[in-house]
Structure 1
């Protein structure tokens, strides 16, 4: 029998700390403990040479169950639609108006964090409703 592997989701981005802060808030994730001698990762980051500042950041599930998320600075900007995206499960088990209300409430919360609302896809014969969104750097994700 094959063993289940842990994995990390990596985001290429322009501002890793900003994007990591968004996803920590969106998912209830946290930053790992700051290096010894520093109160925060931001304090540690300020000690690095300018070209190494805001080069990467991490968001992790405090329970250890969800995948670790790694954000790395890259020089190029996002130019096309993601080939892979996250589905943030906020309406699991809900249908109809109850599901739409849950999607709307989460959409409003994430917009306050800097997300951008996309198209609302209404339920059909095969799928339940979901809300397309973009994070603070335009990475697509769905509220499902």
Structure 2
């Protein structure tokens, strides 16, 4: 009799290198796509403990386009999964994505998000000089 491994067991045996060189990080029982994302999570935990923010969510999902069928072809829905959703003390909601660089696919999803949702969408990165900063602001400073 031959033993077969499950799909999950097979995936664990393969070592896949990230497209952008990121390494997954586990912290407080959560898995983050990068060290930078895990560090931002630690910042949010500190802000919540210091009562600077009400709360935050990890990996919130936003539906950008519903699935549909056209000419006999099914098109799947398009979702955007952000890194964090921050609930501020004033009741406002800020959606945060931690990135080192903006991809073309993210640029398109960002436009679709901005059209459909009222929340502020921030793309942040960590800079050794400026600390946590929005990616657009950092680009302007480096010009």
TM-score range, shorter chain: under 0.3
Greater RCO between the two (CA within 8 Å, min separation 6)? Answer: 1
Structure with greater strand share of residues: 2
User: Which structure has the greater CA radius of gyration?
Assistant: 2
TM-score by length of 2: 0.25
